[in-house]
Amino acid sequence: MSSNPSHYAASSPWCVYKFGGSSVGTPGRLPRVLSLISEAQRPLAVVVSALGDTTDWLISAASAAARGDEAGSGAELAQVRSLARSIAGTVLESAVLTAHEKTVEQLLAPIERLLTGVELTRECTPATLDEVLSVGERISSELVARALTARGIPALAVDARTFLVTDETAGAARVDIEASRARLTPLVPGWEGKVPVITGFIARSHQGRTTTLGRNGSDYTATLLSWLLGARQVTVWTDVPGVMTADPALVGDAYPVPRMTYAEALELAHFGTRMFHPRTMIPLLESGAALHIRGTTEPDAPGTRIDAEGNPDPHRPTSVTSLERLALLHVESLRPTLNEPLGHRVLQALEAARITVWGGTLSALAPSISLVVPQAQAERAHAVLEEALRGERERREVRVPPPHAPVTLVTLVAESMGHRPNVAGRFFHALGNVGVNVRAILQGASSRSVSCAVDAEDTAVAVRTVHSAFNLNETEINVLLVGKGTVGGRLLAQLAENAKTLKARHGVALRLVGVVDSRRALFEPRGLPPAEVHARLADVSPGNASPPDVRPLLERLSRLSVPVLVDCTAADGLETLYAEAFRRGIHVVAANKKPLARPWKECESLHGLARAHFRTWHYETTVGASLPVIETLKNLVRTGDRVERIEGCFSGSLGAICHALMDGVPLSQAVRTARTNGYTEPHPRDDLSGLDVARKALILARELGLELELEDVAVEPLVPPEHLREEDPEAFLRTLGSLDADVSAQVARYRAAGRSLRYLAQILPNAPGGPRVKVGPVAVDAAHPATGLKGAEAMVSFFTERYREFPLIVRGAGAGGDVTAAGVLADILRLAQNVRGRR
């Protein structure tokens, strides 16, 4: 190839369009292709691929023939014929159609004969296969040229074999550019005033054999042609609106990159973008022509322009790719130094065995080596290394462990890598934050990309996380909500109300992907509109399991970026779900106190599990709804203060009930009102028994590091225990009526004595004889700080070494759907803040 770019620099008025198989071979799309051609500037050369899946069918036909399967081969060819006929039928009138069908038959006849030969010899050589495949593009170019002509656009079908000259390599031939130029030059005047519709992918060897140009060969034909014609621009029309920031199948928010350099495109092609083959770029690098990738379905969208300049904006988007089905090979040194560095020998051995090495890390001094190879070649590569390092292994100098597979190579292609700080830092920080285990790090020598090998199961989350850390102004959080009652219901409303502000002001895109209640489950990874959840859930028929099994949903949730399980139930046993969530890399935000009140050891191991998997478990709302009680306590402990006493009214419902009683409201009515206002637990018995307050006290005590159990909390219920046996909440409320008179009389006595009924909690970490925690009703005097509490107000006073004279007091609404939901939302946002990949 030429080493003198200026000699063949893009300077002619020619433009080149290339249309892929789905653009020309999907019913209904060809008319759009014809319109795009008719509107394009002239002179225009068009390159086409084979229609739809024609190439795959031809490959199958050849394989069937090689097996001697005449019927199978015929069936595949019948598909080729049928598609050619049906697509032609959409754009050609009957007279032209008949002529076209005749041409198709003429093109297929020699291929059928060739396949008969293959059947007889039971062998399809690569050269024969090239000949068979060539018919696909020839049918396509005949069709498009005819359809253009029929629309009054002069066009002619051009077989690229008339000018593209290659070596003899079958399957991926090398183009002889000078010989091709010599053949093309005399042909071009014949194209005057017409659109040449040229076969992509195929060429002819010096010896006159049909050859093909390998994967994405038609793109290569188009860029080669642009070079030969001196065209300034090649437009590749595809199904997608340009080169995307990530694979849209993995990342819903991926968007087209407006501009990039050839070098970036090459890097992307190398590391997994299936849109173009690195070879496609070579003619462009030589001539300086721009490559434009545009979508046939959105022809007015700008698409992606690839040229020498790329995008000068320092905040331009960055692309993330993934290359899957790989394996990681290690050579581990068992000695601090070796006599001879191994890198060269290792690479040489793998190269001799024709094993593709996608990348690796090795250094001149440290002998340990990591290499990424195709999974299909991993076992062979392992054997090759064992053999190559036999001496070292026998001397116990190195170890070659079995390959680790499957892994995926995740690559960030960033032109700015080399000249902007913290690109790699942000890449790894983002992955670390979502707990993706980076198994090996590879930085390209071009300093234009950074790659790492991750376990295959982490592919989606890794790609999404890196994509959002670099390309989105927001952190995307995916929420699975369990429980949609008082708190969960208000959370849904707040998600609907605040979504826009959260995105615009705080850069957080909160996506609700699933909702579960006691009977039904709904999951939609693309997101559920929170306002529609109640109606959508009502449409789901309850499954056999009640409550539904949430574990399969965790699997799906874990594949999304920043997955969060939000527990707004009061259900028992959710600790097992949390454990499963942590193991799967899912964060937990909970209003449910029960998992925190499990036996100390169990609870500690759950915290340990969260830490081990780098997950967070936020539960601020479990004490005092959205009052900052737990965070305040954590801060006191973190900053080295010594907590001497915690006390207060921890229950919003009991606060409201006591306050109503003092106002002369009967107990049964006070409890019913508290329940209606959403202050009580699903079963109000949990409040009146003191159990709910005991759980809160235990949660705070454990935050102090006290190894206490729920049974260690001394609990005095608000009403006598014999009235706390009814299981059904409604029936329970009715039975409370029998207590109304006694309770009212008692409260009247307190009032007469200038006292008020309050339900207090006290934690004494340093009490003589060991920590003491107690909760129960107290008739407090007028001077007591709890006397002033109104309605559902809660209050937590921290008496510490630093806050001895004047305690640190947290006070405010201690229950209610709205405040609690706001606290849950705040916990989710706190998590978002922590996991955010910083720019």
Ligand X SMILES: NC(=O)C1=CN([C@@H]2O[C@H](COP(=O)(O)OP(=O)(O)OC[C@H]3O[C@@H](n4cnc5c(N)ncnc54)[C@H](OP(=O)(O)O)[C@@H]3O)[C@@H](O)[C@H]2O)C=CC1
Ligand Y SMILES: N[C@@H](CC=O)C(=O)O
Nearest-angstrom CA–CA distance, 552 and 555: 5
Strand partners, 522: 515
Residue 815 interacts with ligand Y (CB under 6 A)? Answer: yes
Determine contact, residues 48/198, Cβ cutoff 8 Å.
Answer: yes
Min separation Cβ 734 and ligand Y, Å: 20
Q: Which of 245, 653, 756, 797 binds ligand Y (CB under 6 A)?
A: 653
For CA atoms 497, 499, 505, 506, the dihedral sign is positive
Binding ligand X (rule: CB under 6 A), the pick from 205, 287, 558, 592 is: 592
CA–chain centroid gap for 66, Å, is 42
Query: Minimum Å distance from CB 614 to ligand Y?
Result: 28
Q: Which of 217, 241, 283, 483 binds ligand X (CB under 6 A)?
A: 483
Would you say 217 or 547 has its CB closer to ligand X? 547
Contact between 49 and ligand Y by CB under 6 A: the answer reads no
The sign of the torsion formed by the CA atoms of 747, 750, 756, 759 equals negative
Residue 680 within binding range of ligand Y, rule CB under 6 A: yes
SS3 label, residue 455 = strand
Under the binding rule (CB under 6 A), the answer on residue 567 touching ligand Y is no
In three-state secondary structure terms, 605 is helix
Q: Residue 763 belongs to what H/E stretch? A: strand 756-764
Burial of 783 (0-12, 13-18, 19+ CB in 10 A): exposed
Q: Does 681 bind ligand Y (CB under 6 A)?
A: yes
652: contact with ligand Y by CB under 6 A: yes
Among 102-110, 137-145, 573-581, 678-686, the segment contacting ligand Y (CB under 6 A)? 678-686
Of the pair 176, 681, the CB lying nearest ligand X is at 681
Question: Among all residues, whose Cβ is closest to ligand X?
Answer: 485
**Closest residue to ligand Y, Cβ-based?**
653
Asked if 827 contacts 592 with a C-beta cutoff of 8 angstroms, the reply is no
Encoded tokens for 249 = 């199948």
DSSP β-bridge partners for residue 660? none
CB 480, CB 557: distance < 8 Å: yes
Q: Both tokens of residue 827?
A: 């916990």
Least distance (Å) between residue 523 CB and ligand X: 13
For residue 625, state whether it binds ligand Y (rule: CB under 6 A): yes
For ligand Y, the closer of residues 527 and 814 by Cβ is: 814
Task: Report whether 239 contacts 297 (CB < 8 A).
Answer: yes
Under the binding rule (CB under 6 A), the answer on residue 814 touching ligand Y is yes
CA distance 467 to 833: 17
Region near ligand Y per CB under 6 A, out of 101-109, 144-152, 381-389, 674-682:
674-682
Nearest alpha carbon to residue 525 among 554, 503, 504: 554
Q: Is 793 in the site for ligand Y (CB under 6 A)?
A: no
> From the list 547, 666, 684, 690, which residue makes contact with ligand X (rule: CB under 6 A)?
547
Task: Decide if residue 519 touches ligand X (CB under 6 A).
Answer: yes
Least distance from ligand X to the Cβ atom of residue 796, Å: 14
Pick from 444, 485, 525, 785: which binds ligand X (CB under 6 A)? 485
* Residue ranges in 687-746 that form contacts with ligand Y under rule CB under 6 A: 687, 692
Report, in Å, the least distance between residue 816 CB and ligand X.
5
Structural contact between residues 10 and 288, judged by C-beta atoms closer than 8 angstroms = yes
**Residue numbers 600-659 binding ligand X by CB under 6 A:** 621, 625, 652
Task: Clarify whether 594 is annotated catalytic.
Answer: no
Q: Hey, how many other C-beta atoms are within 10 angstroms of the C-beta on 334?
A: 14
651, interface contact from ligand X, ligand Y, none, CB < 5-8 Å by kind: ligand Y
Partner from ligand Y, ligand X, none binding residue 200, C-beta < 5-8 Å depending on class: none
Instruction: State which of residues 569, 651, 668, 797 lies at the interface with ligand X (CB under 6 A).
Output: 569
Which residue number, 119 or 575, has a Cβ lying nearer to ligand X?
Answer: 575
For 482-517, b/e burial (b = at least 16 CB within 10 A) is bbbebbbbbbbebbeebbeebbeebebbbbbbbbbb
The number of C-alpha atoms within 13 Å of 484 and in the hemisphere containing its C-beta is 26
Q: How many residues of this chain bind ligand Y (CB under 6 A)?
A: 11
Reading the block at residue 389, the tokens are: 């390092």
Contacting ligand X (CB under 6 A), which of 482, 499, 562, 606?
A: 482
Stretch that binds ligand X, among 124-132, 425-433, 676-684, 739-747 (CB under 6 A): 676-684
Least distance CB 491 / ligand X (angstroms): 9
Q: What share of the chain is helix, strand, coil (3-state, %, to 5)?
A: 45, 20, 35
| DSSP state letters, 151-171 | TT--EEEE-GGGT-EE-S-SS
Q: Which is nearer to ligand X, 323 or 654 (CB)?
A: 654
Q: Which is nearer to ligand Y, 499 or 691 (CB)?
A: 691
Tell the residue number behind the tokens 């018995």, with chain if given: 685
Nearer to ligand X, 248 or 682 (CB): 682
- Of the residues 18, 194, 593, 696, only one is catalytic, namely 696
Nearer to ligand Y, 658 or 747 (CB): 658
Query: Rounded distance, CA 827 to CA 819, Å?
Result: 12
Work out how close the CB of 569 gets to ligand Y at its nearest, in angstroms, rounded to a whole number: 13
From the number of C-beta atoms within 10 Å of its C-beta (0-12, 13-18, 19+), residue 74 rates as: middle
Name residue 563's beta-bridge partners: 478
CB of 829 vs ligand Y, minimal distance in Å? 20
Contacts of 410 (CB under 8 A, 6+ apart): 320, 321, 322, 431, 451, 452, 453, 454, 459, 462, 463, 466
User: 568 touches which of ligand X, ligand Y, none (CB within 5 to 8 A by kind)?
Assistant: ligand X
Cis peptide leading into residue 547 (ω within 30°): yes
Nearest approach, Cβ of residue 691 and ligand Y (Å): 10
Pick from 83, 509, 516, 557 the residue near ligand X by CB under 6 A.
516
Q: Which stretch binds ligand Y (CB under 6 A): 201-209, 243-251, 262-270, 680-688?
A: 680-688
H helices within 170-241, ranges in order?
A: 177-184, 217-229
Among 23, 287, 449, 651, binds ligand Y (CB under 6 A): 651
Token digits of residue 559: 């594949």
Nearer to ligand X, 527 or 823 (CB): 823
Write down the least CB distance from residue 759 to ligand X, Å. Answer: 15
Which residues, in sequence order, are bridge partners of residue 408? Answer: 454
Catalytic annotation, residues: 696
Residues of this chain that bind ligand Y (CB under 6 A): 625, 651-653, 679-681, 687, 692, 814-815
Where on the chain is the footprint of ligand X (CB under 6 A)? 482-488, 516-519, 547, 568-571, 591-593, 621, 625, 652, 678-679, 681-682, 815-817, 820
